[in-house]
Amino acid sequence: MNSFLRFLLAIWTIGFLVIFCVPLLTGNAIAGGIGLVAGAVLLVPWLVGVLVLSIFIWLTNPRR
């Protein structure tokens, strides 16, 4: 379960970066503006998702 949650956190992080940064890097002003607005709108839910996934990873980490 822990490995799956780590994988999900990686996908969650990469997905946000793709939505936020790729339109700006392509040089398309309209797509860049849309990506910037979408990234700003999705920032808070993304941060909440990172926090929740991090807590689940911590909880499912095998004890040593």
pLDDT digits (tens, 9 = 90+) for 23-35: 767 777 777 777 7
Q: Structure tokens of 16?
A: 């946000």
Structure confidence at residue 55 as a pLDDT band (50, 70, 90):
very high
What is the domain partition of the chain in residue ranges?
2-60
**Residue 5: Cβ within 10 Å count:** 19
pTM for this model (two decimals): 0.70
Structure confidence at residue 10 as a pLDDT band (50, 70, 90):
very high
Contact call for residues 20 and 36 (beta carbons, < 8 A)? yes
Alpha-carbon gap, residue 64 to 50, rounded angstroms: 24
Q: Which of 44, 63, 60 is nearest to 6 (CA)?
A: 60
